[in-house]
């Protein structure tokens, strides 16, 4: 809306002062402002995107000239069990993260959507993990997860549960990474939800209350439908981000134990920067790009079935 009105006004202003300027002259005027961005777009974004595709058809170790192998990297990938495991791990992480990563922040936002001094303190605490680096917090979590010395297993032992070996066990390593990621990302998603909640007109709640709806039913029938655009945005970006999970793997497990946490991003890093398989790394990156693209398109397709733009 604001955009449309603005364009209208701008063209009016333009007709007053710059009416007879030709298109190229207008462009030359804008060029100094756009030059850094245009340069960056070609050199650091679109150039590399094209180059990565080209590299993905080669074998290249940076030390000797690249060798053209056509679809060789992609064929090699398809025949590697580790690649499929990596792909599976990436989806496993995404699926495990999705439900708590979307619902817990929503609950936190609904609880904290009030204006009170105490509420802002809770909000700040919830947001603290967002601003701190994954490296620093992962160091702490490494210790919390320690099977013998860690405080988590100690607390579990207090209630009579023998805690698992967390990051050291292939079965629990990925869920452990997910738990830390949910903890770290909760505040971010919560703030996005809070912004969405504040956009819901208060009258709707009052109207629902008049109709006799209790607190819970008001949330189901007013909050949820009106929040679906926000939930949709959170869903799209969460999936996008989860498919790219890297820092947690780097700090907590380095892809282990027994490749149980080797995700696509981690594998790209290992292939390209530890083994110098630049071509193979680019091919993997394109697989990731393709998956993200397809999943995002699918989500935009099915959004009209459940997203409510009031």
Partner 1 sequence: MLSLATARRRTRAKQGPFWLALLGGVFKPVVVHGLLILASLIMALPFIWMVLSSFKTQPEIFIFPPRLLPRVWRWQNYVEVTRAMPFGWFTFNSIKIAFLVVLGTVLSASLAAYAFARMQFPGRETMFLIWIGCMMIPGQVTLIPQFVLFRSFGWLDTHLPLVVPSFFGNAFGTFLLRQFFMTIPMELEDAAVVDGASNFRIYWTIMMPLAMPAIATLAVFTFMGSWNNLLGPVIYLTTYKKMTLPVGLAFFRGQYGTQWPLLMAGATISVLPIVALYVFAQRYFVQGVVMSGLKG
Pick one of 1, 63, 210, 305: the residue that binds partner 1 (CB under 8 A).
210
Query: Is the CB of 164 or the CB of 187 nearer to partner 1?
Result: 187
Closer CB to partner 1, residue 47 or residue 201?
47
Alpha-carbon separation of residue 67 from 60, 75, 204, 282 (angstroms): 6, 16, 64, 14
Nearer to partner 1, 98 or 209 (CB): 209
| Minimum CB distance to partner 1, residue 240 (Å) | 8
Site for partner 1 in 151-180 (CB under 8 A): 151, 154
- Nearest CA to 279 out of 43, 64, 80, 44 is that of 64
Which residues ranging from 34 to 53 are in contact with partner 1 (CB under 8 A)?
34, 36-41, 43-49, 51-52
Cα 209 off chain centre by: 36
| Rounded Cα distance, 32 and 44, in Å | 19
CA dihedral for 44, 46, 49, 55, sign (positive or negative): negative
In the complex, minimum distance from the CB of residue 89 to partner 1, in angstroms, rounded to a whole number: 15
**Contact assessment for residue 304 and residue 228, using Cβ atoms and an 8 Å cutoff:** no
Binding flag, residue 263, partner 1 (CB under 8 A) = no
Q: What gap in Å lies between CA 257 and CA 173, rounded to an integer?
A: 7
Question: Does 1 sit near partner 1 (CB under 8 A)?
Answer: no
Does residue 273 bind partner 1 (CB under 8 A)? yes
Nearer to partner 1, 46 or 75 (CB): 46
With contacts defined by CB under 8 A, how many residues of the chain interact with partner 1?
Answer: 107
């Amino acid at each position: 809306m604001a955009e449309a009105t603005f364009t209208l006004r701008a063209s009016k202003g333009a007709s007053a002062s710059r009416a007879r300027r030709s298109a190229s002259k207008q462009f030359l005027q804008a060029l100094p402002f756009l030059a850094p961005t245009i340069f960056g777009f070609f050199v650091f974004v679109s150039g590399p995107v094209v180059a990565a595709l080209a590299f993905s058809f080669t074998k290249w170790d940076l030390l000797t000239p690249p060798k053209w192998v056509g679809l060789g990297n992609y064929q090699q990938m398809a025949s590697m069990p580790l690649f499929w495991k990596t792909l599976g791990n990436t989806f496993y992480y995404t699926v495990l993260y999705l439900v708590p990563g979307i619902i817990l922040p929503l609950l936190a936002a609904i609880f904290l959507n009030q204006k009170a001094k105490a509420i802002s303190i809770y909000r700040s605490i919830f947001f603290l993990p967002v601003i701190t680096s994954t490296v620093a917090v992962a160091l702490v979590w490494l210790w919390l997860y320690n099977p013998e010395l860690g405080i988590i297993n100690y607390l579990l032992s207090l209630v009579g549960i023998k805690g698992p070996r967390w990051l050291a066990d292939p079965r629990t390593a990925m869920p452990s990474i997910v738990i830390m990621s949910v903890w770290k990302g909760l505040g971010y998603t919560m703030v996005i939800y809070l912004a969405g909640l504040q956009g819901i007109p208060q009258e709707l709640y009052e109207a629902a209350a008049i109709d006799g709806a209790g607190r819970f039913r008001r949330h189901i029938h007013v909050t949820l439908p009106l929040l679906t655009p926000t939930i949709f945005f959170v869903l799209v970006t969460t999936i996008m981000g989860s498919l790219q999970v890297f820092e947690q793997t780097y700090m907590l497990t380095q892809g282990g134990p027994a490749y149980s946490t080797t995700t696509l991003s981690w594998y790209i890093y290992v292939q390209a920067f530890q083994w110098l398989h630049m071509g193979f790394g680019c091919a993997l990156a394109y697989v990731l790009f393709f998956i993200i693209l397809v999943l995002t398109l699918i989500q935009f397709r099915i959004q009209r079935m459940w997203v409510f733009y009031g």
